[in-house]
Amino acid sequence: FVTPLVDCVLTGDEAKDRKLFHLLNDIMNLTTRELDRVQGHLRQYILDDKGLVLICTFGLRGSTFPNMITQRAVPFSLSIHQALEEELNVKSTVGATFGKVYCGVVGGLERHEFAVLGPSVNLAARLMASKDNPGILVDKNVRLLTSQIFFRPLTAVRAKGYDEPVPIFEPIRNAADNQWGPKRKHFVGRQNEVKHVMHVAKGMLTFHDTSRSSKLLFISAASGTGKSTLMVQSAEHVKAMTKKMKRRVIVSRNVSHDGDSRIPFSLFRSIFKDVLQHFKQEDEESQASMLSRNGSNSPDSVDFSISGQWDSLSQHTQSTKSSTMSTGATRFRFICSELNAPPEFVEVVGKRLLGLRERNENGSAVSAKRPNLQKIVEFMADAFVRCTRHANLVLLVLDDVQWMDDMSWRVVQAVFERGENVLILCGSRPPSSNPLSVDPEFWNDLQGRHREEGKYSELSLVPFGEPEVRVMIATTLEFDVSEIDHGFVRDVFTTSGGMPHYLSYVLDTIKRNKLTVRLENGMIGMNNYVGDDNKLGFGSVGELLLHRLDALDSSVRTVLHLSAVLGTEFDLLDAVAAYEEMFGVDESKRFETAMTLRESFDVAVDEGVIEQSYIFGEEDDCKEIMDEEDNLCHSLGNIRISLKGRRAHPFYAENRRLRFTHDSWKASILNVMLDERKQEIHEHVAMSLEKELDDDEAHHRGDFEKQIRVFKHWKSSGNFTKSAIFALDIGGQLMLLGLNSQAILLFDEVLDILKEMTDEGELDARYGGIGASVLETIDPPELEYLIKLNITKGKAYSTLRRGVDGAEAYQSALDTLNNSPCAAEEDFDRSVSFPIFSGLFAVLKMGAIEQDDKCSFEKDLCKKFVEQARLNGDPIHYGRALAMEAETLGRLGNFEQALEVVERIKFIYDINTQHAAICKAYASDRVAQSFCHSINFNNALGRTREALEICNYIVEEIVPKSDPKNIHNMFCLLYALIFTLKENGFALKARDLFQSRVVDSFKDHFGEGGSTYSKPMFRPILTMLDLEMRDDQDANEIDELTSWALDEDNFEKKLASCEIAWATFCASPMAVLGEVCFGLAKRQGETENRNILLQKAISLVEQSVANTASLPYANMYAKGKLDAMKNFQNACK
């Protein structure tokens, strides 16, 4: 039901009446236009003594569609309401409901009409006509069936045909407007700062700058100084100014919270979903036309005087969201297609990082391809720019960026560098005491050249002075400024420290308790105000907050304790679920308990402790309810929407977003709670949130934000085992995406649980930072997780090529194993410790562990590993231990003994049954790689025939049965083989193998932008083999390769960090590069380049000889090549 609010009374004045007729006709045309867009039906357009009423329907024959409520009915309600006001200057009220109704003919034979009848029709009319209708009202069922729209819950109403009060809701088109709470009614001070932001925005809107470029404004302020309020007010003033100038602005906001630094791309979960709402499909010509129409020289544009029009500026603006697509996931898929993003972006970026859910999600496995992190950053920036390019100005408002993760900072940097119309407002506590995760180089550029170019500026907020405090007292208490007594001002200023937010607490308390009085001098002061004594009743804001909390009922305080543990911002339904978990609420009492809880929150809202945001239709959880064929067959009275998880809760429709009005409330509550009580509540919260994960495991298990949220509560509860389980799961996913640093932070958080239990005086008896007394108390499962955490942490460090840190993590695992009494218990699984030995061996090969001349550490490590694996009896681990022993013997020059060990491996290794398990335990098939090492052993002993036989065995038996997606393993398998084939005249075969099994396979599974440890070696190896088997390269190709070989940064420097790691498999990377230079030198003829290349080849191989002194075969190979090069050099003289 829609009623345009127009005066339809005929006046008898022909001109006025004709104007009314035209308006009524325009309303009809506009309504049919909007209905045509969504294929709805206009049931009635009637004008009578009650006014003008339009009845529109969806679901009749010809207007029944999948996702009808979300994609058509609700968007129509929003668009018709907005279009009437913006195009015809006609306000309206709308009532929308969903249910089964009678549709057909009513009346007699002579006179009848088509009608729709039923309880939901009556309710829609009641909502439309309600005196409390703010514009649009919907019922509970529309709210349940809607995603992508935010709602504000209102007081339930009684309606004809319903036994109980009917919950009603107001849909909100732009929920971001309420993300930080309502705009301050009495905003005092900071005019200069707001005007500064407006001047920057106006300069971008009018192209006063010499070039179109984005700008960044950094606002630094201590907690309570009013930073967030300033940013809200600035954004509203910029929006209002832009509207006055008849330009298009997009505002997107985000507030980071403590813990977001652990969530990769945390900022863009909200920002990206927000800008996707603004996405428009348009070609380049229409885009250019739009920019021309809205440019500074457009005849429709209007100039704006910030100083002159400040007081008349209206801050009430309409949303500009205009996407033509129904869901965030749909729009995201289109963006991926338009920007030619790899298919895996929909899965990894859309679902895991941004939390976008596909409607037809079937729990399929994650794509094997892993996007490169830099590619993700660039894609997000490009997508942001693409979604907002139709606007004249994009205002990106980011608060509390001191908690923003480093990947989000990288995207912000990319948006800043690539965008042309983006003004970024960053609010933060002082960076000196709250370090940012921003790239230091980018931060230095902002402080330096970008500031000089006018693209960066800073604002530092300071507390109010007494004059501003006086104005705020007068404004809040509704007195004239001249009436406020100086002593009153001084006391309020002293108590609040001039901090605006704390000042508002003080004044709110004074106003609530009616503490003001007119003094004998005629000024306004405090009751019983005498002398200079402070009569406020409290010495500080902290005391004031505690006093107000103590005055609350115990049930309200209990709810606030739970809220403080939940965090700064949370869903009411999360609090309800945790409360049910805490007190064991029966199924039959869930709704009653939730209502009681809501009443307590209402009290907290009235007290100003909590504020309410919107509730919203969650796209993530709407899969089950979007089957309209099921939904449309139910009536309002007995509707049975298929729900599960959160939506199955009887209080779901009443859900809303709640948050503390300021962190100081949360901090005050937590400070008075016992640590044990906080841990207990954290445990109940974690249990309730984990149940939600389990209800929809296929989706939530791939959503980092939800997983990390549960992990954070388990960690805060002190539950080491549950924290470790989540950390290992989440950390493993992060490592697959290349986010190893973030994974390490998670592992450290869990390890800190045990480290913090260690007595400070127990300095000499710590193993991996954990005291011996703590290790004596842990049980076998806890020890297993402790070892796994350190092992996985070591793997992450090793992937980052931080071998020393990796060695420390592996050694910590070994130390805790050797010093935990429960390791001797029968139910302890010793196999969890085997990766320790393999990990230490890997970092040893990286050169991270120093050894004596006899290699005592390595020998002892092998001995322990082989013995432990033999006792365990598992061929997976025993084979790995023997492979490690063979490699160690080979590195010590004991080639015969090494070959004997490889022979033992042949009897226990079965690739068909063991390959996958070995890769799972050790990341690659270390056992199969022992055969590759045996190629080197035979070559060292001069047994070329045997070496070639092993090459054939690997090519025919091992490679075809190995996982083609494990590129690192495949590279290790083929590395030694390539050199042996090359040296024996089979370079073409070697190249074909390497190209198909490594290079092409890598591109197939990970794409051009993918990453793997061996990737920097691809081009050098292919070039080495090409130069070995071909001599027909044209001059241009040789010149290109020569330029590459002589570029130190893109040549040897790229491989310096992996020199030792690959030298343990065969030739070192420096030797490979030396061969490339040597091959190019031989093709130069008698030129200067030949001498340069030859000298560089000799230099590189000499480096290889020096680097591989402790690796006999790699050293032997390098010396052989060095002799050949020097002989060639002598022959050229």
Cβ neighbours of residue 253 under 8 Å, at least 6 residues apart?
Answer: 176, 179, 180, 235, 274, 397, 398, 399
Residue 858 zone, left/alpha/beta (φ > 0; ψ -120 to 50; rest): alpha
Q: Which of 247-256, 472-481, 694-703, 716-725 has the largest mean confidence?
A: 716-725
Contact 502, 494 (CB under 8 A): no
Q: What is the pLDDT of residue 946?
A: 95
Which residue has tokens 């005291």?
Answer: 771
Cβ–Cβ under 8 Å, residues 260 and 405: yes
List helix spans (H) across 800-874: 803-818, 834-845, 856-872
Question: Which segment of 319-333, 762-776, 876-890 scores lowest on mean pLDDT?
Answer: 319-333
Q: Tell me the DSSP string of 45-84.
A: EEEETTEEEEEEESSSTT---TTHIIIIIHHHHHHHHHHH
The mean per-residue pLDDT over the stretch 755-767 comes to 75
Q: Among candidates 383, 336, 343, which has minimal Cα distance to 366? A: 343
Name which residue leads in pLDDT, 308 or 106. Answer: 106
Token pair of 525 as six digits: 């002061």
pLDDT band at 1121 (very low <50, low <70, confident <90, very high): very high
d(CA 1062, CA 933): 12
Interval 1011-1055: pLDDT, tens? 788 888 999 999 999 998 877 777 788 888 888 888 877 667 777
Q: Which residues 6+ apart lie within 8 Å of 838 measured at CB?
A: 865, 880, 884, 922, 926
pLDDT of residue 952: 95
Q: What percent of the chain has pLDDT over 70?
A: 84
Q: What is the mean predicted confidence (pLDDT) over 359-369?
A: 45
Q: Which residue has the tokens 């290992």?
A: 728
Q: Say yes or no to pLDDT of 241 above 60.
A: yes
**Distance in angstroms (rounded) separating the CA atoms of residues 318 and 135:** 13
For residue 703, give the amino acid letter.
D
Give the whole-angstrom CA distance, residue 64 versus residue 813. 62
Weakest mean pLDDT among 58-67, 342-351, 682-691, 763-772? 342-351
Confidence tier at 274 by pLDDT (50, 70, 90): low
Report strand pairing: 610-612 vs 136-139.
Answer: unpaired
What is the DSSP pairing of strand 770-771 with strand 393-399? unpaired
Residue 368 is predicted with a pLDDT of: 45
**Given this model, what pLDDT does residue 844 score?**
82
Q: Pull the structure tokens for residue 363.
A: 């729990």
How many C-beta neighbours within 10 Å does residue 14 have?
A: 8
CB 144 within 8 A of CB 653: yes
Please state the φ and ψ torsions of residue 242, each to the nearest 5 degrees: -65, -40
Strand order across the beta sheet in which 393-399 lies: 249-255, 393-399, 422-428, 215-220, 456-460
Beta strand pairing call for 422-428 and 393-399: parallel
What does the DSSP 8-state code read for residue 165?
P
Contact predicate 909/879, CB 8 Å: yes
> Chain-centre distance of CA 408, in angstroms?
7
Give the lowest-confidence range in 28-32, 278-282, 399-403, 814-818: 278-282
Residue 282: the pLDDT is 46
Closest among 362, 356, 297 to 325, alpha carbons compared? 356
Helix/strand number for the chain, H first, E second = 48, 22
Looking at 10-19, 414-423, 614-623, 634-643, which range is the least confident one?
634-643
Q: How far apart (Å, rounded) are the C-alpha atoms in residues 385 and 418?
A: 8
Shortest CA distance to 721 belongs to which of 655, 626, 789?
789
**Residues forming a β-bridge with 74:** none
What band does 314 get if pLDDT is binned at 50, 70 and 90? very low
Mean of per-residue pLDDT scores for the chain:
81
* Distance between CA atoms of residues 785 and 826, nearest Å: 17
Rounded average pLDDT over 511-517: 81
Report yes or no: 925 and 965 within 8 Å, Cβ to Cβ.
no
pLDDT value at position 273? 66
Burial 119-146 (b: 16+ CB within 10 A, else e): bbbbbbbbbbeeeebebbbbbbbbbbbb
- Residue 704: pLDDT above 70? yes
Distance of alpha carbon 721 from alpha carbon 718, whole angstroms: 9
441 has a pLDDT exceeding 60: yes
Phi, psi of 757 (to 5 degrees): -80, -10
Residues 6+ apart with CB under 8 A from 354: 265, 268, 269, 272, 273, 332
Helix, strand, or coil (residue 771): strand
Query: Which has more confidence, 961 or 181?
Result: 961
Whole-prediction pTM: 0.73
Q: In sequence order, what are the residues at sequence separation of 6 or more whose Cβ sits closer than 8 angstroms to the Cβ of residue 616? A: 149, 150, 151, 175, 657
For residue 347, give the DSSP letter.
I
- The phi and psi torsions of 54 (rounded to 5 degrees) equal -115, 135
Q: Tell me: pLDDT of 355 over 80.
A: no
The predicted structure's pLDDT at residue 330: 65
Tens digit of each residue's pLDDT (9 = 90 or more) over 910-954: 999 999 999 988 888 999 999 999 999 999 999 999 999 999 999
Task: State the Cα angle at 561 between 555 and 562, rounded to 5°.
Answer: 95
Burial classification of residue 894, based on how many CB atoms lie within 10 Å of its CB (0-12 exposed, 13-18 middle, 19 or more buried):
middle
Q: State the sign of the Cα–Cα–Cα–Cα dihedral 1077, 1083, 1084, 1090.
A: positive
Cβ atoms of 1080 and 947 within 8 Å: the answer is no
Which residue type sits at 972?
Answer: C
Mean local confidence (pLDDT), 615-626: 42
Confidence at residue 369, expressed as pLDDT on a 0 to 100 scale? 54
What Å distances lie between residue 559 and 555, 603, 681, 817, CA to CA?
6, 10, 11, 43
544 contact partners, CB below 8 Å, separation of at least 6: 495, 505, 506, 509, 536, 538
pLDDT bucket at 702, cuts 50 / 70 / 90: low
Q: How far apart are CA 488 and CA 509, in angstroms?
A: 14
The closest of 931, 990, 976 to 1116, measured between CA atoms, is 976
Residue 1087 has pLDDT above 90, yes or no: no
Structure-block tokens of residue 930: 């022992």
**Phi and psi (nearest 5°) for 749?**
-60, -40
Instruction: Identify the pLDDT of residue 211.
Output: 59
Quick one: average pLDDT of 987-1000? 94
Under DSSP, is residue 260 helix (H, G, I), strand (E, B) or coil?
helix
Measured over the CA atoms of residue 582, residue 586, residue 592 and residue 594, the dihedral's sign is positive
The top-scoring range by mean pLDDT among 582-591, 732-741, 922-931 is: 922-931
What does residue 252 show for φ and ψ, rounded to 5 degrees? Answer: -130, 135
d(CA 681, CA 284): 55
| Contact between 178 and 614 (Cβ < 8 Å) | yes
For the chain, the residue count is: 1133
pLDDT > 90: what percent of the chain? 27
* Burial of residue 539 (number of CB atoms within 10 Å: 0-12, 13-18, 19+): exposed
677: which residues sit within 8 A by CB, 6+ positions away?
561
Residue range 825-865, pLDDT digits in tens: 888 888 888 888 888 888 887 778 887 777 788 888 888 88
3-state DSSP call for residue 777?
coil
pLDDT of residue 933: 95
Alpha carbons 758 and 894: distance in angstroms, whole number = 45
Residue 1066 has pLDDT above 60, yes or no: yes
Q: Is the distance from CB of 234 to CB of 193 less than 8 angstroms? A: yes
Only one residue has tokens 């690539």, namely 418
